[in-house]
């Protein structure tokens, strides 16, 4: 009887955890119109299309590389990133600090199906393109990466240098 109770508890706990994860993942399939939440991050803030200073094209490949993988901007620049997935698997572009990317990559290893919808992230299906607009209003050294399980660990990373005014 105790074994059946333990099994039931494990099943219920699993369903409680899986439900929100699956709902979160399903809610972010495809593109949908949602107002961008502007939240200041150490690496900048969501930008406005009307404020774009320049466009940078980023290519993503199944060799787990970004091209280019080193970027430099001036503090205050608003960049339109156009991401091209030249591969056959899903890739993403996530801006952050090394610490935030490390933490997020660890979570992605534990929950590989987890998807997100933040203004500093772009998910791009195989053979597709996506874009994001970001304002680099803080000077410093930042990073970007594909945090899909195994991609970050394989070296799918890059750096951003934001020069002070």
Nearest to 161 by CA among 77, 54, 105: 77
Per-residue pLDDT tens digits for 20-66: 333 333 333 444 344 567 899 999 999 999 999 999 999 999 999 99
77-131 confidence digits (pLDDT tens): 999 999 999 999 999 999 999 999 999 999 888 887 776 779 999 999 999 999 9
- Name the H helices within 81-165: 98-110
């Amino acid at each position: 009887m105790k074994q059946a109770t333990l099994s039931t508890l494990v099943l219920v706990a699993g369903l409680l955890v899986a439900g929100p994860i699956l709902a979160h993942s399903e809610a972010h399939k495809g593109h949908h119109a949602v107002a961008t939440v502007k939240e200041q991050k150490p690496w900048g803030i969501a930008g406005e299309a009307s404020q774009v200073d320049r466009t940078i094209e980023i290519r993503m490949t199944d060799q787990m590389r970004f091209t280019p993988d080193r970027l430099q901007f001036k503090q205050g620049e608003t960049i339109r990133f156009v991401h091209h997935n030249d591969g056959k698997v899903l890739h993403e572009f996530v801006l952050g600090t090394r610490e935030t990317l490390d933490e997020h990559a660890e979570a992605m290893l534990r929950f590989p199906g987890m998807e997100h919808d933040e203004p500093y992230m772009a998910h791009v299906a195989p053979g597709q393109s996506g874009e994001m607009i970001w304002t680099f209003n803080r000077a410093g050294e930042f990073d970007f990466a594909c945090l899909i399980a195994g991609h970050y660990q394989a070296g799918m990373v890059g750096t951003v240098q934001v020069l002070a005014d």
